[in-house]
Amino acid sequence: MSEESFSYPEPEIRYQILVDICDITADIYFGALEELRKSGLEWTVFHNGIFLGYFGTPDMKPHLKPIVFAIDTENKVAGIPGDGSAPVTFTYTFDLAKFVVAALDLERWEEGSCVVGNELTFNEFVVLAQEARGSKFEVHYDDIETLERFEVTELPGHKAIYERFPKKPFQWFISHIPRAGSLNERLPHLKPLTVKEMLNRCWKNE
């Protein structure tokens, strides 16, 4: 099981966030965890932060449909939550798959298995995106009061996805996965794709 983006230590916080997005999803998700705990099986949930592929171009494998949040690299606009200084984890799906396969050979699984692709702030991400595109971005910051109202700066790329993703809870797609105790420490031979590498691969000179 993979829990993209929503990785909060307090169950009630995680539950509320998922409820805000989809009541049915929250009930099924946490209901499944309770059943697993009662099953006697050994299991794990992979926590991986935000999928890095959402920030790439459509031809970047595995060809995820772009979900533009915080940074619209194509249109060179950013709507940063808070002051942009909070660390965020971005993980490439192919790297997550490598960790999942490698984890099959581990002697023991914890309930939560953290996979850290690349840790950096949205401010740092913008700097790298500007370097890749070769020009400055228009950058906006959404303060805490704005985020608490479930409002974010609307980016040009948002309009194309509102039919697939609710507008109101858009700001919850943020997560930082701790490196301490992560699978990265147990499987140091696996080297994930970085944000800078992805941006240069997808957006350099675009």
| Pair 52, 98 in one domain | yes
| Pair 33, 69 in one domain | no
| Pair 56, 107 in one domain | yes
Which has more confidence, 164 or 137?
Answer: 137
| Pair 35, 59 in one domain | no
| Pair 98, 28 in one domain | no
pLDDT at residue 9 greater than cutoff 80: no
Please state, in angstroms and rounded to a whole number, the distance separating the CA atoms of residues 32 and 170. 25
Domain that holds residue 57: 44-203
pLDDT grade, residue 172 (50/70/90)?
very low
CATH number at residue 88: 3.90.25
pLDDT at residue 70 greater than cutoff 70: yes
Is residue 21 included in any domain, yes or no? yes
| Pair 16, 52 in one domain | no
| Pair 161, 138 in one domain | yes
Q: Which strands form 71-72's sheet, in the order they lie side by side?
A: 71-72, 77-81, 138-142
> What does the pLDDT average to over 103-120?
94
pLDDT at residue 115 greater than cutoff 80: yes
Is residue 152 included in any domain, yes or no? yes
Question: Phi/psi at 47 (nearest 5 deg)?
Answer: -100, 125
Please state, in angstroms and rounded to a whole number, the distance separating the CA atoms of residues 93 and 157. 22
Lowest mean pLDDT among 114-118, 128-132, 139-143, 159-163: 159-163
- pLDDT in the model for residue 144: 63
* Predicted structure pTM score: 0.76
Is residue 32 included in any domain, yes or no? yes
pLDDT grade, residue 17 (50/70/90)?
very low
- pLDDT in the model for residue 158: 45
| Pair 92, 18 in one domain | no
- For 109-146, letters b (16+ CB in 10 Å) and e give eeeebbbbbbbbbbebbbebbbebbeeebebeebeeeb
